[in-house]
Chains A and B, each alone.
Chain A
Amino acid sequence: MTDESHVYGEYCQRDQTIHPPSFAPGYKTSVLRSPRNSLISLQNSLSEITAPVFSRDEFGPLDNDLILNYAHGGLPVGERIVVHGYVRDEFRRPVRNALVEVWQANAGGRYRHRNDTYIAPVDPNFGGCGRVLTDGDGHYVYRTIKPGPYPWRNSVNDWRPAHIHYSISGNGWAQRLITQMYFEGDPLIPQCPILRTVPSEAAVRQLIAVLDRNNAIQLDSLAYRFDIVLRGARATWFESRAQGEPSMQRE
């Protein structure tokens, strides 16, 4: 079997028990924004196993450097960090050419967004967004400032742990995922209503980056390692590879 057929197969059914339920009343905004009917389950067609393909020439040299990509005559305030990891599928295969996009608050916990009115100041040298394509091993890396925690209106004393938002576009539309990365040792993690929407301890742990001193840049930046798992492309038979043959599927 060629490597290509591994990458472009039909995807494993999503294990919905890993993910937060749509309706999670502890996170109040979900109440009016959660569908109440069951999802209609589809077997994959070309609409789900294909997805946009991105190329390296679409991205600038500073797109994965949040320390410099919005610097206007100075450097952003805060703790300099490198974040890196592997994007793999459920079968441990690297997801190559996956688009990893990140966005975050600055060191004071403030986003550069018109709807963010938190008292902490905007940093004139920090934009808070970046993006990178995974390489042939499924590896990605970017550098940034460690984001600060911030309060938000859910209950009046709810605080988000420090986190970086992640969007991952894999090789198939069915792999599309948005999640958040947290930092090892943050005492706000167990109290976070948004993280509490995740049903299991194991799934929460998978969202916490670990300090990676081996990859720290000496006398410059600490490093964190954060691996991501997307749905697996099945290595078993898929009808698109056997056009013209009778379908094995019963409908």
Chain B
Amino acid sequence: MVNALDYLKESASQTAGPYVHIGLAPNQAGFDIFEKNFTNAVAPPGVAGERITIEGRVIDGSGTPVRDVLIELWQANAAGRYNHPADRQDKPLDPAFRGFGRACSDFKTGIWTFETIKPGSVAGRAGKPMAPHVNLWIVSRGINIGLSTRMYFSDETEANAADPVLNLIEWEVRRKTLIGERETRGNAVVYRFDVHLQGPQETVFFDI
């Protein structure tokens, strides 16, 4: 007999269902229960970095916006450091900036937004810098296991071209699905980022 591995198995994922909003963002679902809530305002006033809005929709295989989606965002600060003990890069931390947000799509239009700051570049594997990006996790009714993706920034052409993760995607045409397009609206900087669940423009999703 060989040794036995007594490892456990991960619990199986299940869909977040149509009512995920009351669980994860009740105040955004119009329902007042907790004193402190997780919101789409990722960067409180005073946090260093360029103020940006990320705005998008999640679109299903028929081209219809998904109007009951919930998206989580996780990102580094403007210096390119995550507010977490595993990140030991020699860069400043901003204690007021966690880097986490949750957004519900509008129940009529499917549009969701995050108000945040543009992250800096974080060291990737083997010390190779990753281009600035935010990590997104998408759940809804009909999604059996949360979808992980990243949004990169259209004005970071050079860094994106050298990014070790974008370069893992064999099909250059698919890399574009991960780029948020920079727009200015008055004084506001907005990155537009539509996520396509299926079809010719299907967004790249990662097994992380």
- Complex CA distance for A63 and B164, rounded to whole angstroms: 41
Question: Given A14-B10, A50-B86, does the pair A165, B16 have CB atoms closer than 8 Å?
Answer: yes
B9 x A18 contact (CB < 8 A): yes
- Complex CA distance for A46 and B197, rounded to whole angstroms: 26
- Among the listed B21, B135, B174, B197, which residue makes an inter-chain contact with A32, where contact means beta carbons less than 8 Å apart? B197
- Complex CA distance for A231 and B207, rounded to whole angstroms: 13
* B41 at interface, CB cutoff 8 A: no
A103 x B10 contact (CB < 8 A): no
A129 x B33 contact (CB < 8 A): yes
| Size range of the chain B interface in the assembly | 35 or more
| Least Cβ–Cβ distance between B81 and chain A, in angstroms | 9
* A177 at interface, CB cutoff 8 A: yes
* B161 at interface, CB cutoff 8 A: no
15 contacts between A and B (CB under 8 A): A18-B10, A22-B143, A33-B60, A33-B61, A39-B205, A47-B133, A52-B99, A53-B83, A60-B35, A60-B36, A177-B10, A177-B13, A180-B17, A197-B15, A247-B127
- Among the listed A21, A90, A112, A165, which residue makes an inter-chain contact with B20, where contact means beta carbons less than 8 Å apart? A165
In A91-118, the 8 Å CB interface with B consists of 91-92, 101-103, 111-116
| Least Cβ–Cβ distance between A73 and chain B, in angstroms | 16
Question: Given A46-B86, A52-B99, does the pair A88, B8 have CB atoms closer than 8 Å?
Answer: yes
- Among the listed A35, A111, A178, which residue makes an inter-chain contact with B19, where contact means beta carbons less than 8 Å apart? A111
A247 x B8 contact (CB < 8 A): no
Interfacial chain B residues near A77, Cβ < 8 Å: none
| Least Cβ–Cβ distance between A97 and chain B, in angstroms | 11
Interfacial chain A residues near B8, Cβ < 8 Å: 88-92, 229
B144 x A197 contact (CB < 8 A): yes
| Size range of the chain A interface in the assembly | 35 or more
B35 x A173 contact (CB < 8 A): no
Interfacial chain B residues near A19, Cβ < 8 Å: 10, 12-13, 144-145
Interfacial chain B residues near A251, Cβ < 8 Å: 125-126, 164
| Least Cβ–Cβ distance between B178 and chain A, in angstroms | 10
> Chain B: residues with CB nearer than 8 A to chain A?
6-24, 26, 29-31, 33-36, 60-62, 64, 66, 68, 72, 74, 76, 82-89, 98-100, 107, 122-127, 130, 133, 135, 137, 139-148, 150, 164-165, 168-169, 174, 197-198, 202-208
**Interface SS of chain B: helix, strand, loop or mixed?**
loop
Among B33, B123, B130, B139, the most chain A Cβ lie within 10 Å of the Cβ of: B33
Among A22, A88, A113, A230, the most chain B Cβ lie within 10 Å of the Cβ of: A113
- Among the listed B9, B124, B147, which residue makes an inter-chain contact with A15, where contact means beta carbons less than 8 Å apart? B9
Stretch at the interface among A183-191, A198-206, A217-225: A198-206
- Complex CA distance for A177 and B144, rounded to whole angstroms: 11
- Complex CA distance for A53 and B97, rounded to whole angstroms: 11
The proximity string for A residues 1-45 relative to B, scoring 1 for CB distances below 8 Å and 0 otherwise, is: 000100010000011101111101001011111111101111111
* A232 at interface, CB cutoff 8 A: yes
| Least Cβ–Cβ distance between B201 and chain A, in angstroms | 11
Question: Given A33-B66, A59-B36, does the pair A52, B19 have CB atoms closer than 8 Å?
Answer: no
B107 x A115 contact (CB < 8 A): yes
Given A45-B124, A103-B23, A229-B11, 6 further pairs, Cβ under 8 A:
A32-B60, A50-B82, A58-B36, A103-B24, A173-B208, A179-B12
- Among the listed B22, B62, B140, B206, which residue makes an inter-chain contact with A113, where contact means beta carbons less than 8 Å apart? B22
